[in-house]
Amino acid sequence: MATLATQFDAALRRIEPQTDAQNAADAHKQVSGALEADDRLRELGVSPVLIGSYGRDVSIKRVKDVDVFARLRNATATLRPGEILDHVKDVLGEAFPGQVKRQYRSVEVKFPDYGLSVDVVIARPCVDHPEDHWQIPQKIEDDGRARWVETNPVKMTELKTAANKKFLLSSDNPKSGVYVPVVKLIRQIRRTWVDEQPGGYYFEVLTYHAFQDLEPNENTVAEYLCVVLREIADRLPDYVEKGPDDPTLDERTITTKATREQIEAAAERIAEAAQLAEDARDEDDVCASALKWQELLGVTQQTDDPEDVFALPDACNADGTEKQTGRLLKGAPAVPAGRDRYA
């Protein structure tokens, strides 16, 4: 079995949204500053926080939208979401002329120079247990009223942090967390193998459940990825009617825009991907293994210059054969055979 640890490290760097992350941080800072500068929002206790894949540090190249959770800590049940969203739109419209659009339960601010947008979602303390959870409007009617639904997006960030501390590549290195790298790789595989839906968060939740239920203890990223991907492939068919449990809210499940047919198609494709990953892991030939990993992870998505996420070792040809150098490939399970020549 070829480990190819160097190539996996490079693959993770290749899907890391470095420039996007810098731009997203700046966009978030600007939007949060505009919200916090408004008198009325300050009275409502506005407290913006990053959520979404970027906020949890599990996003991959490219980041095109940033989610800001605008918590209104002092809001009560009398707050009409339609009216406050109009106010937020006006505040942001003044700060970012021509860049703001009111959506059905959020306000979007476009940053064309960065090629991304910021979605501001308002939230009030949950009526039943305001110290723990939040509520966001599910649908705002013409009169400004809405049905509020419970949510707890900050909890997923906490669960991510805990999982990355628990699952380590090296038990004596607390910085060797493998959960976040595997989530990123699973997101890349979803983009490569699944047509649009289910989305990235859905697969992130499946990854979280796989880690919690299996408690894998592997030695390499490749082995962790195989175990988790196989578990996702086995579970997906069970979620055609109802989604997986929501790890952030008791007795709730994850919803998706995916149709029954899309989930079934995704299950079939991910099963194929899981088999390819296992074939790559079990392949003794380094170059042949690397070629399978390259197929699995595809190319960087939504970029001007797509590139293979998993690069073949220098000693490998593009077709997965070894270049005739006679030297040992890094990660190979055995040394090359001798040439019957003696000193």
Percent of all residues in the chain with a pLDDT value above 90, rounded to a whole number: 75
Tell me, which fold does domain 19-151 have in CATH? Beta Polymerase; domain 2 (3.30.460)
pLDDT of the residue at 340:
37
In the predicted structure, residue 337 carries a pLDDT above the cut 60? no
Mean pLDDT of 287-312: 95
Both tokens assigned to 155: 């909890």
CA distance 131 to 70: 16
What are the tens digits of pLDDT across the range 145-190?
Answer: 667 888 998 899 999 999 999 999 999 999 999 999 999 999 999 9
Domain map (residue ranges) of the chain: 19-151, 156-282
Residues 6+ apart with CB under 8 A from 217: none
65-72 and 116-125 strand pairing: parallel
Q: Which residue has the tokens 């540090």?
A: 57
Mean pLDDT of 238-245: 95
Integer-rounded Cα radius of gyration of the chain: 23
Question: What's the CATH code, domain 156-282?
Answer: 1.10.1410
19-151 and 156-282 share one fold? no
pLDDT of the residue at 289:
98
Q: Which residues pair with 124 in a beta bridge?
A: 135
Mean pLDDT of 9-27: 93
The model's confidence at residue 332, banded by pLDDT at 50, 70 and 90, is low
Residues 280-307 as b or e (16 or more Cβ within 10 Å = b): bbebebbbbbbbbbbbbbbbbeeeeeee
